[in-house]
């Protein structure tokens, strides 16, 4: 074998696995992993740190997360300090410059999204408020999901230009399915505009705005602070006065307080997964909304 042949077969040998190598995408939320996998298709392996049935503010750091972050090409975060309680030390230990906020592989999904409850005064963490920069549960509005999907397509295309056409095609397919789904959801909830709800945590302002529900109170006195006896009494009085039919509760909280408040007010507790995988049927971004919309409609039909 002459030298040229040797070199070219050597290159072939090592270029093939490189071409087959998938982008490793790590996300903090399962919703972001679902969107990244949908857009990235078979050129991407997307994996989430938090499971959909876990409180996204309080994820227990594990050594395995450090390894995942070490190997990651892309890190997608919700931002707005949703991950402040666990991600910074994991990032430090991962020693992966690509996925730091200054790195090419970092994507803050909140950029360009509609963020509600932005503070108008100086930011404090008074009483442990875990939403100091506005509400970080913005992915629960499908219009924000569309913004995030586009940002993911742009980020993946920048890191893997050979895949850009595929990412655009997958994005277009996602947007078409989302548009169809939005019609379906709006039809199902059409008769319930203005319905008053109380939620456990302030996870639902974007969801409520989009679906025209009216959140009149929270079981938590402040985001991240468990219900106190005094606050429960206030919520019970408020719900009686305003005839609130539903308490929406994230699947990772204890039912004890919501059930108590429901027993005093006649309201129904609706278990709502706020993320993909929070219930097995909520298996991707679109079916998450299908699941939550159906749960609300079923509860309101029982209230008729
Ligand atoms: Zn929160």
Q: How would you write the pLDDT of the chain (304 residues) with one tens digit per residue?
A: 455 555 555 545 554 444 568 999 999 999 999 999 999 999 999 999 999 999 999 999 999 999 999 999 999 999 999 999 999 999 999 999 999 999 999 999 999 999 999 988 766 666 567 888 999 999 999 999 999 999 999 999 999 999 999 999 999 999 999 999 999 999 999 999 999 999 999 999 999 999 999 999 999 999 999 999 999 999 999 999 999 999 999 999 999 999 999 999 999 999 999 999 999 999 999 999 999 999 999 999 998 8
Residue 86 Cα to ligand 1 middle (Å): 14
Q: What pLDDT score was predicted for residue 57?
A: 95
Q: What pLDDT score was predicted for residue 8?
A: 52
Exposed (0-12), middle (13-18) or buried (19+): which is 162, by Cβ within 10 Å?
exposed
Residue 133 Cα to ligand 1 middle (Å): 11
Q: Where are the beta strands (DSSP E) in the chain?
A: 23-27, 44-48, 74-77, 106-108, 196-199, 214-218, 246-250, 268-272
Q: What pLDDT score was predicted for residue 7?
A: 52
Residue 238 Cα to ligand 1 middle (Å): 22
Which domains occur in the chain, in start order? Answer: 14-182 (3.40.50.1980), 188-303 (3.40.50.1980)
Question: What angle, rounded to 10 degrees, do the helices at 30-40 and 164-189 form?
Answer: 130
Of 185, 203, 296, 189, nearest to 246 by C-alpha is 296
Residue 4 Cα to ligand 1 middle (Å): 60
Instruction: Enter the tokens of residue 44.
Output: 């991407």
Q: What pLDDT score was predicted for residue 1?
A: 46
Residue 137 Cα to ligand 1 middle (Å): 6
Residue 57 Cα to ligand 1 middle (Å): 6
Residue 223 Cα to ligand 1 middle (Å): 6
Exposed (0-12), middle (13-18) or buried (19+): which is 181, by Cβ within 10 Å?
middle
Q: What pLDDT score was predicted for residue 16?
A: 47
Strand order in the sheet with 214-218: 214-218, 196-199, 246-250, 268-272
CB atoms within 10 A of CB 290: 17
Q: What pLDDT score was predicted for residue 129?
A: 74
Q: What is the dihedral of CA 95, 101, 107, 112, to 10 degrees?
A: 170
Q: What pLDDT score was predicted for residue 119?
A: 84
Instruction: Enter the tokens of residue 268.
Output: 């129904």
Residue 117 Cα to ligand 1 middle (Å): 11
Residue 251 Cα to ligand 1 middle (Å): 13
Residue 203 Cα to ligand 1 middle (Å): 5
């Amino acid at each position: 074998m002459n030298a040229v042949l040797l070199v070219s077969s050597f290159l072939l040998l090592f270029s093939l696995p490189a071409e087959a190598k998938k982008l490793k995408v790590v996300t903090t939320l399962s919703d972001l992993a679902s969107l990244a996998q949908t857009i990235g298709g078979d050129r991407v392996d997307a994996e989430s740190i938090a499971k959909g049935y876990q409180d996204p503010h309080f994820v227990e750091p594990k050594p395995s997360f450090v390894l995942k972050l070490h190997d990651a090409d892309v890190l997608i975060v919700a931002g707005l300090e949703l991950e402040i309680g666990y991600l910074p030390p994991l990032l430090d230990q991962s020693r992966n410059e690509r996925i730091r906020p200054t790195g090419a592989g970092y994507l803050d999904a909140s950029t360009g999204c509609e963020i509600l409850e932005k503070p108008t005064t100086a930011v404090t963490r008074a009483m442990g408020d875990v939403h100091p920069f506005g509400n970080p549960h913005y992915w629960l509005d499908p219009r924000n999901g569309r913004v995030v999907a586009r940002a993911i397509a742009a980020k993946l295309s920048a890191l893997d230009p050979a895949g850009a056409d595929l990412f655009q095609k997958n994005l277009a397919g996602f947007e078409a399915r989302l548009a169809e789904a939005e019609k379906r959801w709006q039809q199902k909830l059409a008769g319930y505009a203005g319905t008053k709800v109380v939620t456990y945590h302030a996870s639902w302002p974007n969801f409520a705005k989009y679906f025209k529900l009216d959140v009149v109170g929270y079981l938590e006195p402040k985001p991240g602070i468990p219900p106190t006896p005094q606050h429960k009494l206030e919520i019970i009085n408020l719900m009686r006065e305003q005839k609130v039919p539903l308490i929406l509760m994230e699947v990772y909280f204890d039912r004890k307080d919501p059930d108590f408040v429901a027993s005093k007010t006649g309201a129904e507790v609706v278990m709502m997964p706020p993320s993909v995988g929070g219930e097995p049927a909520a298996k991707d971004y679109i079916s998450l909304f299908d699941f939550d919309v159906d749960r609300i409609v079923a509860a309101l039909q029982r209230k008729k």
